[in-house]
Structure 1
Amino acid sequence: MLTEHNYRLEEPLKSAVLAVLEAHVEPQLGKGLVSAGMVQKLALNGRRLELGLVYPYPCQSTYKETVMTLTKALAKLDVIDEVECEIDLQVPANPGNTNTAPIPNVKNVIAVASGKGGVGKSTTAVNLALALAAEGASVGILDADIYGPSVPLMLGVPDFKPVSPDGKMMTAANAHGIAAQSIGFILDDEQAAVWRGPMAAGALVQLVNETSWPELDYLVVDMPPGTGDIQLTLSQKVPVSGAVVVTTPQDIATLDAKKGISLFNKVNIPVIGIVENMSFHLCPSCGHKEHPFGTLGGSKIAERYHVPLLGALPLNIAIREGMDAGNPSVVAEPSGEIAAIYREIARKVGASLAKTGPQTGVSISISDDE
């Protein structure tokens, strides 16, 4: 909230500084830094301007470019020779379905879903969680695929076993800097979960509510494929902030993805966007791009349901090899092209939740200590 007593700078300088900051449009939020509530501090010490920004979504890989751009613009003002910029991350809580109790320590719940199996949903969920963490957030992942848990193997912690120090809550694994929970940690490797739908749904609720989660900005939930009991239970018992739907370009996959979107619309869970896996293949020898599963499937779904296409991933053997080895792309090659795509998806997801969640103004403290 802006109040007049925050300002001790002379009016021309105050207006000029705020105008420069407002002219810088935050690309994911679509607003200037002032109207987006991101300017937390302005103080002039001599000829050095001290600037404090707070981001509502994780994007630390963009900080350097932002600081360079703002420094160049602000240094054009006559009384400013130097700009010192500090950036903080404060992810707001987005409770989603307000009819369900919040999960202790969890601000946002992101469901990653698909209408059918085999489209890379779990790969997307794991890399999305790791990408959110790489961009500065505290993140957990819940493997809700009760019948086919794969997160333990994908994260390289298949031997982890939860313990319950107090006899009520159980611990989560820590893998590559994120918290993880899965029915696969509880069942033996070759033990099948031979449960009817209500039993599987009940197991999901227990995993959510009886895990001692650390303080999390985001809990990514890897859903089972389809639109059955577990999906309905999640919408009724868990405060889901938004859903990411994963598909591949071919018609049969996009048809099932439409059913998944329809389900989320019916239970009032916002669909954040679409991720298209196996979008194309680049020949390693000649660089020729081909589309073995068709083209524009994800784009057409996104356009039809008025949601964004968050990203398109190539058909790449390195993605599969990394998941099988418990070393996903985002951590295996953090500077690689595939990791960059996942991080861009993560920034879009975080910004979408920040825009649709409760809006809280940030006080700007402006002083002249000259």
Structure 2
Amino acid sequence: MTEGNFVDYVKVHVFSGKGGKGSAHLHREKYIAKGGPDGGDGGRGGHVIVRGNENLWTLFHLKFKRHIRAEHGGDGGKQRSTGANGSDEYIDVPLGTVIRDTETNEILKEITEDGQEFIVAEGGMGGRGNWHFKTSTNQTPRYAQPGIDGQEVDITLELKVLADVGLVGFPNAGKSTLLSVITAAKPKIADYEFTTLKPNLGIVKYRDFKTFVIADIPGIIEGAAEGKGLGHRFLRHIERNSTLLFLIPADAPDVAEQYEVLLDELRRYNPELMDKDRIIAISKSDLLDEELKKELGQELDEKLQLPYIFISSVAQTGLQELKDKLWEILNKNPV
């Protein structure tokens, strides 16, 4: 998945269908010159429905389709025949999509299951035909109800990536390199900050044909919780990951301090993120000899009391140990 076709935020203007009008028809046939009212009801207008689709990973298919309109209901006919209901219009979205009312910013629904449906705009009811209005004193009503107008709504669709593990770190910490080594994903890799501008997903192949999904989240900077840098555009993707993998380079001035800064940004954005399982991977560890690793390990043991692993994506060391640890955390059972 390239950055160009990963779309995680779209605004859509939707119109549900108008209900069909009822018929004011009077029954006429051979030898019956003045039959009673037999006008049928109008059909219901089509709904606009958001539907979860597990085969989608992005909102790209909606990028150039910003107006969605359902079909109007058919008009009623003679012999009490009801007009056809307008066909519903479906908006398929990836799992993990949040539906908001654009005007109020209120969350209407979160789509988390395949096939889950939510009506964002209900079709108008069809009008009743004139036979409903027949009474003993008004036996030939020559009027019927018009159909009710459909709804017109602005909605915002936000995708929060659903992954087992979310990669968290400062820009240029080596997240994309790690993803490219342990999965088949091909993220953009370069030696400058903010190479990754959109989340990348990769499937990690584990022992006995087991797999889990890992997401490379764009790099965090201080102040991201207030919207600095890429701010909320990527922090929301971390909310759906069950485990957070903090990636900190071995050449960082202070590994423990960098971890605390990252953790503080997540805490300020959403305190509930503190409930997720966390693990630290020290990347670029091929720069360290055994003595430096031991010193750094002792420092982390004292300051953080958190599981950590030394890895090198380039030298491909520590990667299987990292997979084992992540699998253990995801399944809460020792390997």
Q: Which has the higher helix share?
A: 1
Fold match (TM-score > 0.5): no
TM-score band w.r.t. shorter chain: under 0.3
The structure whose RCO (Cα within 8 Å, separation 6+) is larger is 1
Larger radius of gyration: 2
Q: TM-score, normalised by structure 2?
A: 0.27
Q: TM-score, normalised by structure 1?
A: 0.25
